[in-house]
Structure 1
């Protein structure tokens, strides 16, 4: 059996650890459990030491965010498989077994996502990853079970094991050898879409990303940064442009970037019309940050980029014009 480490990144999340850590310990006998702490100022570390002495703790010197927080912590963890798990995840019995079996039987599979359901409404998929992620021709991410704000009920329609384009960072399994080959997450992202960037880079190198419905977890979502937070808007808009700059095929790079920046402007106008001025400024700030990072980001591009990265030409067109509210393969 492959050596697996379940690594929970934590920052001031003692209440989430109190709520969810026990289920991870109970249902993960195959794994070593770690809490990677991003310099919390609450009682997170002392709580884990007092109540869960078998859990190993890796302490970062500062709050490095999701991307660099994992990069730093994983330097000190020895395992063949990293299971990167948000602190607001509830796991279920035997959740690891289907994942381990897939890694053992499919050597080209590098990354796996379980079925991600909503902790607050367990019959429905969860926004962050649902039944596996894809992107369209213009780099907009969406999931089987979630397109923009439309979230499907889990009726077994995605009870399959299949290739996807990206796996959710909420519960993200990756071979440590591949993680190290790709040099981990891009720390520039801090948080949001760094897992899509990592999957895209793995895809460009010929690795497979899979979804396995037999492994089921429940995600609270937004427990550390709420959906309506302008910082979330800033990170999502900026990081999307950074991700496209790194991974799009060269022949379509500038055309797509210009189109996306125009669409970002339209989104900003919509925020103004709704009185959400802080989100408009967040988009503006995201663009200026992107301009300052463009040159250094462009230098990170791999030598080759696959042209077969998207599932549909435009999910925006499908969703808003022809009302395609659910995933179509």
Structure 2
């Protein structure tokens, strides 16, 4: 990953800006990768940036809830005028326009390279942060110096818990979640363990991995790990990052005091079959990189064709439903 640099910045306190020298960094640099989710993105930025700070110069460091931060949006060549809307309504945002869709991992790595925060907060454009979220994450990170990655409590729009902190996937969990076994035995222990379903998410604890829809990453760990693995176009890059962090001796935590609301799969809904392909491709990359070297013969035999068959099933089902709708 490129050296993490950024231009000289300013702090904004209320509506007043105070110049900073180049050695001063924000507490948290927020990183958002967008692709054709204009209305969600604007709602996300509204939850992050105080109204009086929105028209400050690009890349300016502003204060939000007691935390000094800046925001970078990487726009992956959206066609819905997302980037123009951000530039018009939120000039304070550091806007990086890509000439093609780089995907999630590569997009965030571009944002990481442009920002200078002591922590990086990866946030989906279809998510909004609650009041005090960034301060709670910052305080938690300062109190846990070996925490490389920290995930907030993630809620669905109806207020229910989203399973954003999970155990690493296993072959048995995959079999039950992605086959008829899951329908026959929905309350099986393998799925419950993977989703951490027996936990009410009201207490903070160490976990295997947290969702990339909202995760705070310590800059020191980010440098050591090299950012997201860009082989993952979309999906599973968060699992991979947490896996590598834990293998390197870092900790991954769930912070119950910070809350984010996530609409879930908004950009993915625009091209479902393409996302199905990338999801399964990413699962295979993760399996090949981290599991295959220690997998047994049976697991090596059934995992690759199993992923291909599952992807083909869902893509075929989507196409069939599309044809049936056209015939109505």
TM-score (norm 2): 0.72
In the alignment, is residue 63 of structure 1 matched against residue 96 of structure 2? Answer: no
Structure 1 residues 255, 181: CA separation in 2 closer, same or farther (over 3 Å shift)? farther
SS in 1 for 2:249: coil
Other-structure match for 1:168: 211
- 1:263 is displaced (CA, Å) by 3.6
Other-structure match for 2:148: 110
Other-structure match for 2:128: 90
- 1:227 is displaced (CA, Å) by 9.4
Decide whether the 8 Å contact of 1:241 with 1:257 is kept in 2: no
- 1:223 is displaced (CA, Å) by 0.7
Paired with 2:270 and 2:207, the residues of 1 have a C-alpha distance of 24
Structure 2: 5+ residue stretches without partners: 1-24, 51-63, 178-189, 321-328
Paired with 1:69 and 1:105, the residues of 2 have a C-alpha distance of 30
Structure 1 residues 224, 84: CA separation in 2 closer, same or farther (over 3 Å shift)? same
Across the two proteins, how many residue pairs are aligned to each other?
267
How far does the alpha carbon of each residue in 1:216-263 deviate from its partner, in whole angstroms, 9 at most, with x for none?
A: 111001110129922222112221111022112733266533232354
Range with greater deviation from structure 2 (237-246 or 79-88): 237-246
Other-structure match for 1:322: none
Decide whether the 8 Å contact of 2:280 with 2:308 is kept in 1: no
- 1:20 is displaced (CA, Å) by 2.5
SS in 2 for 1:187: coil
Other-structure match for 2:276: 233
Paired with 2:313 and 2:272, the residues of 1 have a C-alpha distance of 16
- 1:278 is displaced (CA, Å) by 5.0
SS in 2 for 1:125: coil
How far does the alpha carbon of each residue in 1:142-194 deviate from its partner, in whole angstroms, 9 at most, with x for none?
A: 9xxx959x9999x9822111011111010011112212221211212110111
Structure 1: 5+ residue stretches without partners: 280-329
| Matched ranges for 1:279-298 at <5 A | none
| Matched ranges for 1:1-329 at <5 A | 3-26=27-50, 30=67, 31-119=69-157, 121-122=158-159, 124-126=160-162, 130-138=163-171, 147=191, 157-226=200-269, 229-248=272-291, 250-252=293-295, 255-264=298-307, 267=310, 276=317, 278=319
Paired with 1:253 and 1:61, the residues of 2 have a C-alpha distance of 43
- 1:8 is displaced (CA, Å) by 1.4
Paired with 2:80 and 2:70, the residues of 1 have a C-alpha distance of 24
Decide whether the 8 Å contact of 1:58 with 1:76 is kept in 2: no
Paired with 2:296 and 2:266, the residues of 1 have a C-alpha distance of 34
SS in 2 for 1:75: helix
- 1:29 is displaced (CA, Å) by 5.1
Paired with 2:312 and 2:36, the residues of 1 have a C-alpha distance of 35
SS in 2 for 1:210: strand
- 1:94 is displaced (CA, Å) by 0.2
Structure 1 residues 139, 114: CA separation in 2 closer, same or farther (over 3 Å shift)? farther
TM-score (norm 1): 0.72
Paired with 1:227 and 1:207, the residues of 2 have a C-alpha distance of 36
- 1:17 is displaced (CA, Å) by 2.3
**RMSD of aligned alpha carbons:** 3.2
Paired with 1:108 and 1:99, the residues of 2 have a C-alpha distance of 14
SS in 2 for 1:216: strand
Other-structure match for 1:308: none
Decide whether the 8 Å contact of 2:276 with 2:314 is kept in 1: no
- 1:139 is displaced (CA, Å) by 8.2
Paired with 1:184 and 1:108, the residues of 2 have a C-alpha distance of 17
